[in-house]
Amino acid sequence: MISADKLTLREKAALLSGESVWDSRPLPRLGLRSLVLSDGPHGVRRQLGEGDHLGLNASAKATCFPTSATVANSWDPVLAERIGEALGAEAAALGVDVLLGPGLNIKRSPLGGRNFEYFSEDPLLAGRLAAAYVRGIQSQGTAASPKHFAVNSQETRRMSSDSIVDERTLREMYLAAFETVVREASPRTIMSSYNKVNGEYAHENRHLLVDILRDEWGFDGVVVSDWGGGNDAVAAVKGGGTLEMPSPGLGSALEILAAVEDGRLTEADLDVRVQEMLDLHDWIESREADAVDHDANHALARAAAEQSVVLLRNEGDLLPLAKGTRVAVIGDFADTPRYQGAGSSQVNPTQLTNALEAVPFSGLDMVTYAQGFRRDGVADPALASAAVDAAREADVVLLYLGLDETRESEGKDRDDMTLAANQVDVLTQIAAVNDRVVVVLSAGSAVEMPWLEKVPAVVHAYLGGQAGAGAVLSVITGEVNPSGRLAETYPVSLADTPTASAFPVEEEATVYREGPYVGYRYYTTAGVPVLFPFGYGLSYTTFEYSDLSVTAEGATFTLANTGDRDGAEVAQLYISRTSPGAYRPARELKGFRKIHLAAGESVRVTIPFDERTFRTFDVEADAWTVEAGEYRVLVGASVEDLWLDASHAVEGSAPSTTEVPEVYRTGKVTDATDADVEALIGRSLPTAPAAGARVALGANDPFRAMHHAKSPLGRLVARILRSLIARSEAKGKPDLNLYFLYNMPFRALAKMTNGAVSMGMVDSIVILANGHFFKGLGGVIAGFFRQAGASRRLKNELAAEATESVSI
């Protein structure tokens, strides 16, 4: 183990930022090689050629597992851990030291562009599954990097938005899953998010990274910035951020050195961060990579998808279909599957099966295939009418619908929750000629289904990874009894969501007006009806719950499979406080068990309580507390199908008497006034610039803010970017580079150009965008030479130190 005092000051400063897109800086003098960091959450994206953080350039083949949103439906930490093991082993075989995942941000709105990469709207479920991934990954000697810490809920302005959230909601909703991961799985690294949290960038937010993550939860690893998420390198060292990625060249090292020199930063503070890097090297050194069995991992990817398919509707028990059933397969998604999402998580699969290839192995008799609709949403009556003809011919129609690549992607939030109108049109026409239609849906997040009543069956495949197509057919034929349960609520419509009028936000400040009323916590408290509740999913068998007994240790009940097929149930435990005290949602998930039962079998099941079951965060005391009082303990099959109910008294501290605005008790948070929100967050709401106002831009404003720039050139650049984005979307292919640029702050020019641009030059570019063309340009040119000279000098000094016999 190397200790920080063996490094020279320059080496220390240089170690805290990356050398290239995926590599940390080596230190050969001390035997330290570069560490390789690579995405990602559901498969390894190891780029051996040109690297990028948007999934644009080629990467080596790796197993593409179902995305986290999909695996979350399995509610199965054992499965998640096996996936983690496979990911960790594939990473090791590809020379990846730190795997950038899993992603576990809370799904605040169904419009979140990266919801497909995240687990749930509930922190307990997200935390337990993510912890299982981390345990699995790290069991192979690969460090995991759970991300994005924290409160990273929207893609709009993703690198320069400020998530303003009250402390209690922060702790109970947005940090709780990370807390579980840190306490239960000890990740060696964690990735800080792009956004600010309550005014400070996550990578330099001392409250988050030191007070909570390190001091309270005991995290002792490396905090790595999201790619380009570094802001002020010196503030990061002080605030708990360890490694800035990708490479800002030697720019950040120069800033750190200057700060030590003029006393703004102590070397002791620097040593703390340096030691975190050295410890990570030490942890990784002991690893040995084994050969990977890609066939076995493909089989695991299929098993994972099978456990995660959610049967949403099955009128008249249309499913499962008997072998030999004559099916028409309709829909572009049967031919070109959507099995993962676009962006940094995109994997180059080892193999890929589509539904057309999988049907012949399912025992079903495919009489015909019709494309049905254009994927890009453009109406095509000829395709629709061929599909209707195909539907007439068959006993059953398997209709493959979904969200296409432009409707769900990293870098952009969704515009709405609908399926493309041309798909719904085809569905309507087909349903008119065949009443045995099974919709197979591919989407990484919730969609509205005003068409639901028109079809008897809906199988939700989510994004099932490279083996997803076969998995769906196993469910359709009954080879697999569906046991997936929704890890997020399906609201009736977008207008019903708690953030309907507040998501995404285009200005810097994103105020979490709804407090803890996210997902089912909102719907169950405010009494808003939903399409499919959290935890919901059908099976081909039936389960009965009985005999609940509750003790201080937990809840025990009997679960019976009362049908004639073997199957698995996800038993869920919620609590609901009935005595006065701190405001709380009507239901909070506090435990779950996935249980396989043979037909006719029954079992006693215990779901234990732990120190977190009844706790709330007491903001005044700045501590967790358990309030004394009465609770209902509810057990059942979804947040709305709670078959067992017992009251339970808990001992604890005196209940809170703190006043809160009424909306935070009733949960009717869409009625919250600005004054209510100010009372919740404890400060005044920020004001946004008036529409059309010309504003002075700063280094942390994104390019999209140039719509309001003082300089006509700036406004022109913003307009050009917007029209290029519109053009790429019209072509049906999202351009992630453009999304990134549009939302990228000026500062990122320094953070992502390998040192070519300094932070000083960024300030000059901002001056230019603010309408002072010549002054700005002069600054850019002078800054360029200054930066190049200083970087060259530091590089030479580092090289000299590396060869001199510096005593170690």
Active centre residues (catalytic): 226
Q: At CA 334, angle to CA 331 and CA 340, rounded to 5?
A: 115
Min dist. Cβ of residue 53 to ligand BGC (A): 3
Q: At what angle do helices 123-138 and 77-93 cross, to 10 degrees?
A: 40
Min dist. Cβ of residue 154 to ligand BGC (A): 12
Alpha carbon distances (Å) from 806 to 2, 9, 29, 795: 15, 12, 9, 16
Which residues make Cβ contacts (< 8 Å) with residue 618, sequence separation at least 6? 582, 624, 625, 656
- Integer-rounded Cα radius of gyration of the chain: 27
Q: Report whether 244 contacts 279 (CB < 8 A).
A: no
Q: Which residue, 38 or 442, is less far from ligand BGC as judged by CB?
A: 38
Please, where are the H alpha helices in 584-735? 663-666, 674-681, 712-730
The strand ranges marked E within 63-193 are 98-99, 143-144, 162-164, 189-192
Q: Which residue, 226 or 404, is less far from ligand BGC as judged by CB?
A: 226
Q: Is the peptide bond before 504 cis (omega within 30 degrees of 0)?
A: yes
Min dist. Cβ of residue 744 to ligand BGC (A): 10
How far apart, in whole angstroms, are the C-alpha atoms of residue 759 and residue 750?
6
| Sole residue written with tokens 């096996």 | 82
Q: Which residue, 143 or 476, is less far from ligand BGC as judged by CB?
A: 143
Min dist. Cβ of residue 195 to ligand BGC (A): 11
Min dist. Cβ of residue 118 to ligand BGC (A): 11
Q: Which residue, 66 or 101, is less far from ligand BGC as judged by CB?
A: 101
> 43 phi and psi, to 5 degrees?
170, 155
Min dist. Cβ of residue 70 to ligand BGC (A): 18
Q: Which residue, 56 or 430, is less far from ligand BGC as judged by CB?
A: 56
Q: Which residue, 411 or 581, is less far from ligand BGC as judged by CB?
A: 411
Min dist. Cβ of residue 209 to ligand BGC (A): 18
Q: Is the peptide bond before 148 cis (omega within 30 degrees of 0)?
A: yes
End-to-end CA distance of the chain: 13
The answer for 350, left when phi > 0, alpha when psi is -120 to 50, beta otherwise, is alpha
Q: Which residue, 409 or 711, is less far from ligand BGC as judged by CB?
A: 409
Q: Which helix (H) or strand (E) holds 785?
A: helix 773-803
Min dist. Cβ of residue 227 to ligand BGC (A): 4
Which chain residues interact with ligand BGC by CB under 6 A? 39-40, 53, 100, 147, 226-227, 344
How far apart, in whole angstroms, are the C-alpha atoms of residue 510 and residue 517?
16
CB atoms within 10 A of CB 775: 13
Q: Which residue, 53 or 708, is less far from ligand BGC as judged by CB?
A: 53
Q: Which helix (H) or strand (E) holds 196?
A: strand 196-197
**Per the structure block, which two tokens stand in for 448?**
């509205």
